[in-house]
A and B are shown apart, each in its own frame.
Chain A
Amino acid sequence: MSTLSQKPLAERRAPQRPAPARPVAPALSVRDVRISDRTAGREIVRGVSFTLAPGRTVGIVGESGSGKTLTCRAALGILPPHFEITGGSVEIEGRDIGGLTPAEWTALRGATISAVFQDPASYLNPSIPVGRQVAEVVRIKKGAGRREARRQALELLRAVHLRDPELVYSQYVFELSGGMLQRVLIAAAVAADPHILIADEATTALDVTVQAEILDLLADLRERTDLALVVVSHDLAVVAQLCDEVLVMRRGEVVEQGPTEEVLHRPRHAYTRLLIAEHEQYGLERFRTAEEDA
């Protein structure tokens, strides 16, 4: 298993900090996790390992069907029916998830580990104002009273840089854009002050300027609260900008893993090289390179 990188490349990446006197306990530790489809009798994810410290970010990149989402769902205890972890282990703050009861999972989710996914609208109730749904998380997870929950929800909406929290609080899903909904969902996901946040294709459906806003927001949250982030994307560049360490997955296997810098500059696997080549040919990279050479 590789360790997290020491050298940030892009400024969005976690700031370099002095090595702690004693090692910080990992927020999330995934060891050789294997996931199988019971009905098909097939192993779908074949050995994923990484360790994530507080305030750090690990990225998983791969095409659809590569097993990146299943890996995340396993860590959240929400594998789809028929799927199960058939090997390896996942530890959340040193606690093996293997023997967790549903009640223990409920306590853990939201308060310790949380997640946002691709399609924000489908995770919100269309007939309840979005602010009330964030307040509900505060009430249930933090035991706050109605008034206090509302106050905290407004605070959260402000923290995710929604311009008019009071207005957004009382709005419904259909009244908000995709970027605004994703902010609301991030607000709900961090309402109970989790230590780990999984963002699974959380910016995929958004415009690029909105995507940058959300990525900036995640970086901001990480810095303010020492949040440990798992960023999952099909886009290597999204992952590269935010993450200290990258895992490249293909067909259930991790084909390459290492510090972001190293994976980008010295890719070993052909698939990683292909992902980079595509970006260089059809991304803004070629203009940037020309600019630097000039």
Chain B
Amino acid sequence: MSRPVDPSDHDDAVDGATDGTAGPARPVLDVRDLHVHYGARRRRRPALRGVSLSVAPGETVGIIGETGSGKSTLARAALGLVRASAGSVLVDGEDVTSYGTRRWRALRRRGVIQYVFQDPLRSLDPDLSIGTSLAEPLLIGGAGREEAAARVREFLPRVRLDEDLLDRLPGELSGGQRQRVAVARALVTGPRLVILDEPVSALDSANRVQVLEILKDLRADGVALVFISHDLGSVAGVADRVAVLYRGELVEAGATREVITAPRHPYTRLLVGSAPTLRGAPADRAAREALRALLHT
């Protein structure tokens, strides 16, 4: 996949690597001290409280969060679907924090940023054939019909899909196939950044492994992935770095191995100690109990 990087494209300062993790390349996604609130007046509640995160080209960052952690809010904020109450979001160096619907639409249309959600049935038009669905983002981006069709066919093997699926409707595919179509649709335009919100949570283990393998392959293309999930195991299998969201705050971030083998925050420790594993002793019941007590004080 071609990925032209022209430094003269934008003139924003390259100061995204404030947390020392993004390396020299300009981050593809740079979230700075982001606050998001839901509700108004007395019902106004924070969903995100000062989240900072930067993702370098070709990097896969996992965001781990459970129910109510704000992980989907973060995904939606990065896609311009919710408005920040403070802080900023930069996509490929462009400050998109105050973009309105129209400018966001233009940005998404350029195919720089793409997304995959948990339920592929909702992200694919049930009345469009798989081939049409896959070609659509290319046509929107200005490709010709022939060119789009060729590009789609060329892309299929990378998501382990057969050409004979192109004429089918989403309803005629299995859940795993549908999710691979959704991944293909997100990637066919050669985006710089893909946000995946629980992309494998609805899949059984064989399909989960297949989608995770595809995501791993994509890293080689230099596309940056933000992989959001409640499942530490799935994320750990593909992410270079992980960040842990708890009640709207990023409580811990670091290299995947470090966070999992030496978690520092009590919540991360509870998360790691709660994951069911086949071998090795999980943190014992008493340790989990102590962490729970600590978190609820």
A residues neighboring B (CB under 8 Å): 10-12, 63-64, 163, 177-178, 207-213, 215-216, 219-220, 234-238, 240-241, 264, 275-276, 278-285, 287-292
Contact = CB atoms under 8 A, between A and B. Distances in A.
B264 interface: no
Interface stretch (B47-55, B95-103, B185-193, B275-283): B275-283
Interface string B253-297: 000010011000000001111111111111011001100100010
B205 interface: yes
A220 B288 CA distance: 13
Given A11-B284, A207-B67, A282-B209, A287 B274 contact: no
Interface of B: 66-67, 204-206, 208-209, 212, 230-234, 236-237, 257, 260-261, 270-282, 284-285, 288-289, 292, 296
A264 B276 CA distance: 14
Contacts of B234: 282
A211 B231 CA distance: 12
8 residue pairs, one from A and one from B, having the closest CB atoms: A212-B274, A237-B276, A207-B66, A282-B237, A288-B280, A283-B233, A209-B274, A287-B260
Nearest to B271: A209
Nearest to A236: B278
Contact of B237 (A237, A238, A281): A281
B130 to A, nearest CB: 24
Contacts of B232: 208, 284
Contacts, number: 112
Given A208-B232, A208-B274, A216-B285, A285 B280 contact: yes
Contacts of A234: 204-205
A285 B277 CA distance: 6
Contacts of A292: 280
Given A11-B285, A282-B212, A282-B234, A211 B274 contact: yes
A11 B282 CA distance: 8
Contacts of A10: 281-282
A209 B272 CA distance: 9
A103 to B, nearest CB: 40
